[in-house]
């Protein structure tokens, strides 16, 4: 194969085969999700209200497909704080290479049928490390390049402020409506992401790896769920963070339903001091799913009521407590149900022993209280789901509509109660970490409330027992949350839920 010229790069190695790029499509409408709560509980149904039937947002599928998105490792320009955009002058740092190697080990046992990658060097090198000795060629796609930032590319942030003033400030505060050199970068990126999905989902593979960049991975997650450009910088993508999307076929040639199985599972701890969307945050809500109970291990929707933690649940609670030891927790808000209280107690005891454990030089005092809004109805126990159904649609997918409406209404007050725990001022005493503990079902509602989504989106997320989801508030509680990760389970060690599952001996995931 001859040399292929790429903007900002000299050439693409011989092992890379380019996917065809369709002609650019007309700009699509961007909007905040809406629609009646009484509509069908399927995320694509909301999108179809705003799209032309002649060009559905996602192509129909004949069988289930899982897509794993990975951002490249740390690059030299990441380390310098320089704006990269779609330029191709930075390479992976030694830290970035190490992150990619950790991702390779994390995905080593997974059976991928294909790997799409951005052709830019930092992404391509990450893909090569992760893909390693697999025998299939990487598939570069030019539309997977990072967001085009035109004149901003190559600038340090302080240089952007000095040179472009109000325009750079608009890019920081309102990026989806910001025009640079006559272009709207975020809108263009969303259109590109739509085209990428056409090629990724029509590939014959049932399990596909995509290695790209921060902004384009955000756009891929958002467009798969039907979210508009206003969600740019809301769904965090860290270096080598992995996000997993499950696509389930729908009858009649309709677009598939989509479930975000997890967002931004990183090689490093999700509670590290890393900034959120380029901004430091001192206010945080961590959603902790209670550990497993005897009921949840038998295949129902998890333990409720008087069901205590089983042995696995005790281990999950202890592992979560150890993870949170690196963070000073101010308050723990939990469901009054037994499994949640047991999980909260384990976290509280480890927090208050921080001095003895060498994690802090002063005692920690944690406020712990129950919140009735986090309690769920025992009816959730009655719904049995197979592993196949769980992975394909998320276990909320078949929940009776009335029960879902009740849970949804309950989540509004619960979310507001959690946000009210965060101080509004920016003083020295304003740092605050709130841990909320409950059943995965109520946490799905809280995630949707955080993102200003409708009830229809609850089946579009998945949470496992013992998982954590982290939400930062860099602009305070009134500024809205930045989702750092969802359904993070790597802290559970040997009991963590794999990113993907081998399909060699199974017809489905």
Tell me the mean pLDDT in the region 375-396. Answer: 50
Contact criterion met (CB below 8 Å) for 498 and 110: yes
| Architecture, CATH, for domain 65-265 | 3-Layer(aba) Sandwich (3.40)
Tell me the mean pLDDT in the region 396-423. Answer: 83
Sign of CA dihedral 224, 226, 232, 234: negative
Higher pLDDT, 83 or 44: 83
pLDDT digits (tens, 9 = 90+) for 449-475: 999 999 889 889 999 999 999 999 998
Tell me the mean pLDDT in the region 184-198. Answer: 96
Other Cβ atoms less than 10 A from the Cβ of 84: the count is: 26
Q: Which residues, listed in sequence order, are joined to residue 139 by a DSSP beta bridge? A: 116
Quickly state the pLDDT bin for 400 (edges 50, 70, 90). Answer: low
Name the least confident of 8-12, 61-65, 320-324, 442-446. 8-12
Mean of pLDDT over the chain: 82
The angle subtended at Cα 299 by Cα 437 and Cα 339, nearest 5°, is 25
pLDDT digits (tens, 9 = 90+) for 325-365: 989 999 999 999 999 999 999 999 999 888 888 777 677 88
Query: Which residues are the active-site residues?
Result: 72, 146
Tell me the mean pLDDT in the region 167-190. Answer: 97
7 labeled part of a ligand binding site: no
Sign of CA dihedral 265, 271, 277, 283: positive
Where are the strands (E) in 266-322, listed by range? Answer: 283-289
Q: What is the pLDDT of residue 24?
A: 35
75 labeled part of a ligand binding site: yes
Tell me the mean pLDDT in the region 115-141. Answer: 96
- Which tokens belong to 285? 């809500």
157 labeled part of a ligand binding site: yes
- Which tokens belong to 425? 């001022």
Q: Is 47 buried (19+), middle (13-18) or exposed (0-12) by CB count in 10 A?
A: buried
Q: What is the pLDDT of residue 13?
A: 37
What is the chain's alpha carbon radius of gyration, rounded to the nearest angstrom?
Answer: 22
460 labeled part of a ligand binding site: no
Name the least confident of 205-219, 261-275, 300-314, 456-470. 300-314
Higher pLDDT, 385 or 136: 136
CA dihedral 101, 104, 108, 112 (to 10 degrees): -160
122 labeled part of a ligand binding site: yes
408 labeled part of a ligand binding site: no
pLDDT digits (tens, 9 = 90+) for 26-64: 333 333 444 333 333 233 333 333 333 333 479 999 999
Q: What is the pLDDT of residue 428?
A: 47
76 labeled part of a ligand binding site: yes
Euclidean distance between CA atoms 471 and 285, whole angstroms:
5
The pLDDT of residue 382 is above 60: no
Euclidean distance between CA atoms 128 and 126, whole angstroms:
5
DSSP 371-415: -GGG---GGGGG----HHHHHHH-TTTT--HHHHHHHHHHHHHHH
283-488 CATH: 3.40.50.1240
pLDDT digits (tens, 9 = 90+) for 422-434: 988 655 456 899 9
Q: What is the pLDDT of residue 473?
A: 94
Is the fold of 65-265 the same as that of 283-488?
A: yes
133 labeled part of a ligand binding site: no
Tell me the mean pLDDT in the region 227-239. Answer: 96
- Which tokens belong to 353? 């022993």
Which among 458, 456, 486 is positioned nearest to 471, based on CA atoms?
486
Which among 272, 267, 262 is positioned nearest to 324, based on CA atoms?
272
Euclidean distance between CA atoms 478 and 403, whole angstroms:
30
337 labeled part of a ligand binding site: no
Domain ranges of the chain: 65-265, 283-488
- Which tokens belong to 402? 């009335």
Name the least confident of 31-35, 163-167, 230-234, 443-447. 31-35
Scanning 133-213, the segments in alpha helix (DSSP H) are 157-164, 166-173, 185-202
Within 13 A of 340's CA, how many CA atoms are on the CB side? 30
266 DSSP 8-state letter: -
Which among 127, 105, 130, 103 is positioned nearest to 116, based on CA atoms?
127
- Which tokens belong to 239? 């270096």
Q: How far is CA 197 from the centre of its chain?
A: 17
pLDDT digits (tens, 9 = 90+) for 296-333: 555 444 444 678 999 999 999 999 999 999 899 999 99
Give me the count of residues in the chain.
509
Tell me the mean pLDDT in the region 182-197. Answer: 96
The pLDDT of residue 398 is above 50: yes
Contact criterion met (CB below 8 Å) for 352 and 363: yes
Q: What is the pLDDT of residue 355?
A: 80
Euclidean distance between CA atoms 272 and 268, whole angstroms:
8
Q: What is the pLDDT of residue 397?
A: 52
């Amino acid at each position: 194969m001859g040399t292929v010229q790429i903007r900002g790069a000299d050439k693409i190695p011989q092992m890379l085969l380019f996917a065809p790029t369709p002609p650019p499509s007309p700009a699509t409408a961007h909007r905040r999700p809406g629609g009646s709560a009484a509509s069908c509980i399927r995320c694509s149904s909301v999108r179809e209200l705003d799209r032309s039937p002649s060009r559905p947002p996602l192509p129909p599928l004949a069988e289930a497909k899982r897509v794993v998105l990975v951002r490249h490792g740390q690059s030299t320009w990441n380390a310098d704080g320089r704006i990269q955009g779609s330029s191709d002058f930075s390479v992976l740092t030694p830290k970035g290479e190490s992150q990619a190697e950790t991702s390779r080990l994390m995905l080593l046992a997974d059976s991928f049928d294909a790997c799409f990658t951005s052709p830019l060097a930092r992404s391509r090198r990450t893909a090569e490390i992760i893909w390693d000795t697999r025998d299939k060629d990487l598939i570069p796609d030019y539309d997977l390049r990072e967001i085009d930032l035109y004149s901003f590319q190559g600038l340090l942030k302080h240089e952007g402020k000095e040179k472009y003033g109000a325009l750079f400030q608009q890019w920081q505060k309102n990026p989806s409506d910001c025009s640079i050199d006559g272009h709207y970068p975020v809108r263009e990126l969303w259109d590109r992401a739509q085209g990428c999905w056409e090629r990724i989902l029509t590939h014959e593979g049932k399990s596909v790896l995509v290695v790209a960049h921060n902004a384009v991975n955000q756009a891929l997650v958002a467009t798969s769920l039907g979210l508009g450009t206003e969600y740019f910088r809301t769904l965090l993508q860290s270096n080598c963070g992995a996000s997993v999307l499950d696509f389930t076929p729908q009858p009649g040639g309709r677009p598939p339903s989509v479930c975000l199985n997890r967002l931004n599972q990183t090689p490093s701890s999700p509670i590290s001091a890393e900034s959120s969307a380029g901004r430091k945050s001192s206010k945080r809500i961590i959603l902790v799913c209670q550990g497993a109970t005897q009921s949840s291990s038998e295949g129902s929707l998890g333990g409720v009521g008087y069901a205590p933690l089983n042995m696995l649940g005790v281990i999950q609670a202890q592992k979560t407590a150890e993870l949170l030891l690196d963070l000073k927790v101010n308050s723990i808000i939990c469901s009054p149900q037994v499994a949640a209280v047991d999980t909260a107690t384990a976290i509280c005891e480890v927090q208050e022993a921080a001095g003895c454990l060498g994690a802090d030089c002063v005692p920690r005092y944690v406020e712990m209280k129950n919140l009735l809004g986090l309690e769920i109805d025992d009816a959730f126990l009655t719904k049995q789901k197979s592993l196949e159904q769980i992975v394909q649609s998320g276990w909320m997918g078949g929940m009776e509509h009335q029960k879902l409406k009740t849970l949804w209404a309950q989540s509004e007050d619960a979310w507001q109660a959690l946000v009210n725990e965060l101080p509004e001022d920016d003083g020295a005493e304003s740092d605050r970490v709130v841990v909320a503990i409950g059943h995965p079902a109520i946490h799905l509602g809280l995630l949707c409330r955080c993102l200003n989504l409708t009830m229809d989106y609850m089946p579009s997320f998945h949470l496992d027992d013992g998982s954590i989801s982290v939400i930062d508030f860099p602009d305070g509680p009134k500024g809205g949350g930045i989702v750092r990760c969802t359904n993070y389970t790597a802290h559970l060690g040997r009991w963590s839920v794999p990113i993907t599952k081998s399909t060699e001996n199974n017809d489905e995931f």
